[in-house]
Amino acid sequence: MTSPSLTPKLEPIYTTPDNETRTVILWVSRHDPLPAQIKALEAKLGAIEIWKLSGVVPSADYVVETAEKLGAKVIVPVLPLSFIVRLAEVAPRKGITVLFAKMEEMHRGSKEEAEKLVREAPDRRTAVEYSGGVWRVWEFKQFEKLIRVEIVTEPW
């Protein structure tokens, strides 16, 4: 498993061909979107332009500022919960929608089985190696709009 860059990297990774007007999306992850995710975004938003922000992101405010500089109307984050809480507070005030890619775990185990499952549906599945050499396969189901984050606790 490769470690993420210590400085954020911003790069264009996808543009709907042959359209002048596009919805700009800031994709915050070390992984590129799957083809099924791109298709789902285009089905909902029409023509799109996706910019990927990867590496170590200093704060949720940095993500929102980057989105504003790009003119992005949508952020799709794969970030720690503390960042997500802050995005839920700040992004909507700036007119930016935060989406989650709902992923379902399909497998936890060997690399060989993970690769086999991804080959069956490469447009919507991805494999990720975790600590101890455990592989997990995730399948994209849909996007969901972040409305609020609520943490409920009780004494322990």
Number of structural domains the chain divides into = 1
- Rounded mean pLDDT, 5-20: 89
Give a yes or no: residue 125 inside a domain: no
Domain hosting 22: range is: 9-101
Give a yes or no: residue 86 inside a domain: yes
Give a yes or no: residue 28 inside a domain: yes
Percentage, residues of the chain above pLDDT 90: 87
**The pLDDT of residue 2 is above 60:** no
Specify the pTM. 0.90
C-alpha atoms less than 13 angstroms from C-alpha of 125 in its C-beta half-sphere: 17
Q: What is the CATH number of the domain that holds 37?
A: 3.40.50
Give a yes or no: residue 74 inside a domain: yes
Give a yes or no: residue 49 inside a domain: yes
pLDDT band at 20 (very low <50, low <70, confident <90, very high): confident
CB 54 within 8 A of CB 30: yes
Q: How does DSSP classify residue 124?
A: T
pLDDT band at 151 (very low <50, low <70, confident <90, very high): confident
CB 76 within 8 A of CB 28: yes
Neighbours of 25 (CB within 10 A): 25
Beta strands in the chain (DSSP E): 9-15, 23-28, 48-54, 74-77, 97-109, 125-129, 135-145
pLDDT of residue 6: 76
Give a yes or no: residue 13 inside a domain: yes
Q: Which residues contact residue 81 at a Cβ distance below 8 angstroms, ignoring those fewer than 6 apart? A: 149
